[in-house]
Structure 1
């Protein structure tokens, strides 16, 4: 049977490390833990699962830390996880089955990552990444932040999913690392520029984000990242309350890709923010007629394809005093996620209206 090394880099993960290792330790054949400076009980907890623990001086470079962890592996294949990720029971069985049947002509295996789990246990966001690689191929990580494995060869797309359940807030750590590299005069790759712009956006530095992402989209870059960058620029203008300018960037994406739920949702929301409810309703309803994608290319925000459009349609129709259509979309939200806090509050409100009438 194929053997697997689990390789992880950690720092101050006492809140999550046990659940992560519990979910996988009976499947893998070796656990390599590289600590980059923990000051809590992380390593004490890790020792219950492995003695293969190494220290690595943190130098603001995730790829170098991950490459170091990979260098310590001794098994046929390497699986990487972050400490705030878990593999549930169903996917543990899938992973064990894959391990038993895996042929040595496979160079890498992709898995879905499920993020932002809702109250019903369903992911709001799905992405796909290379998760298992053949050790002897000596694949390397690329990028000091938002790192990825440089893969070639025979890649297997599996049906295994990993749950990313983030607890710890990272604040502006990534942004500080980018700025440090700029101060050192390090040249940014296209990918670095793309993620730097997104970090500026996440830290509400919208004018700077626009400038960086404008530079990025002017280059010959991967279409998926180009489209996402255009959307981020549009969202920056939305935050600046420049809705017409925002829509210019959302519309530009149609030159490269088919209409997508996330893009159209932004267009609809921009009209709603201007209280142009008829236009907003038209765009939200376009989304509901699109088929939900089955395979993610980079990242899918599932909420923008059904739940959020219904929720916004509920609000828009209410603003137009069309209570019946508003209630209809509320019930659609309830079908999708009855435990959502807004849905629960809306249900109480609609019940009070029904009682009055």
Structure 2
């Protein structure tokens, strides 16, 4: 049977840490907790479960903190946990069975991450696979009898274990602040982080978040070295930023670029919002319809689903069409109910 170290990074998690560790303590062989500056009872709670509690000076870098926690692990595999997670009784048993039956060639185990839409920040689905268990030391093996090469792709196993995400608040503001720390150092966000920043804005951002972030995105649109995918994400953010600022010239500029390449639901939705605010409901209908049926969402699946469907209902209500209003309200309701049952892999 394999041995497992649970590695965690924490800060001010006194409300949820005990719940998490109680669900883990009988599943793992070692617990490593790295504290990045708690001012509450987090460390005291942690020390009742393990003597491997370490301080790490926060440098606005989650990867650095994670790497430090991994450096303290000594078991065969590392399980990555967050304080606002828990494993219920049924899935604890599945975890034990996995631990007993784990094949030695498996390097990464994915588990379902569930309950994500509550206080979501970058989540479009309520349940999705995430890598959670990693072999601590990787063995490199040669493969192929001729023209041999070293196997680089990890062996991944998709388990049926479900990890319940139960946060007590949204972490969006914290994440936005970390993005600004990176940007204010003059560093360029990677394509992945550009995507995540834009995605988090559309899923958890408020109007003032878009207004603050929009100034950065406005500069990025001038960078000709950006990939087409990055440009699409930037255009989505700028469309909302421009509408909120009442900047019609910028709105039309980014919308036309977006539509000329690969139109996004988010951009069409913002055009619908613009015309709805002008009380031009006939024109708004066109763009909300395009958001719902003719385009694909880039950042938040709701912009291609219940959001524009409800706005279509609002437009028809303003136009006095009761039948269409009720039809789109029903479509929006059904879409919203169905999305919670979808899985993504």
Q: Distance in 1 between matches of 2:157 and 2:84?
A: 24
User: Could you say if the C-alpha distance between residues 279 and 99 of structure 1 is closer, same or farther in structure 2, counting changes exceeding 3 Å?
Assistant: farther
Q: Distance in 2 between matches of 1:84 and 1:152?
A: 31
Contact 2:293-2:304 within 8 A present in 1 as well = no
Contact 1:25-1:49 within 8 A present in 2 as well = yes
The superposition leaves residues 150-191 of structure 1 with CA deviations (integer Å, 9 ceiling, x where unpaired) of x953344556554544434658655655665666x6643535
User: Could you say if the C-alpha distance between residues 330 and 224 of structure 1 is closer, same or farther in structure 2, counting changes exceeding 3 Å?
Assistant: same
Contact 1:107-1:152 within 8 A present in 2 as well = no
Q: Distance in 2 between matches of 1:94 and 1:254?
A: 47
Q: Distance in 2 between matches of 1:167 and 1:81?
A: 16
Secondary structure of 2:235's counterpart equals helix
In structure 2, stretches of 5+ residues that fail to align are 140-151, 202-207, 338-345
User: Could you say if the C-alpha distance between residues 130 and 261 of structure 1 is closer, same or farther in structure 2, counting changes exceeding 3 Å?
Assistant: farther
Contact 1:172-1:203 within 8 A present in 2 as well = no
Counterpart for residue 288 of structure 2: 284
TM-superposed CA distance for 1:135, in Å, is 0.9
The superposition leaves residues 45-103 of structure 1 with CA deviations (integer Å, 9 ceiling, x where unpaired) of 33443332222222333222111101111222222232233445665566555545543
In structure 1, stretches of 5+ residues that fail to align are 139-150, 294-298, 339-357
Counterpart for residue 117 of structure 1: 118
Q: Does 1:227 align with 2:226?
A: no
Counterpart for residue 308 of structure 2: 309
Aligned length: 314
Residue of 239, 254, 263 corresponding to 1:249:
254
Contact 2:268-2:287 within 8 A present in 1 as well = yes
Q: Does 1:136 align with 2:137?
A: yes
Q: TM-score, normalised by structure 1?
A: 0.68
Q: Distance in 2 between matches of 1:92 and 1:188?
A: 41
Secondary structure of 2:104's counterpart equals coil
Contact 2:268-2:291 within 8 A present in 1 as well = yes
- Counting only pairs closer than 5 Å after superposition, residues 17-166 of structure 1 correspond to structure 2 as 17-87=17-87, 92=92, 95-96=95-96, 98-111=98-111, 113-114=113-114, 115-117=116-118, 129-137=130-138, 153-156=154-157, 162-166=163-167
CA RMSD of aligned residues (A): 4.2
TM-superposed CA distance for 1:247, in Å, is 5.3
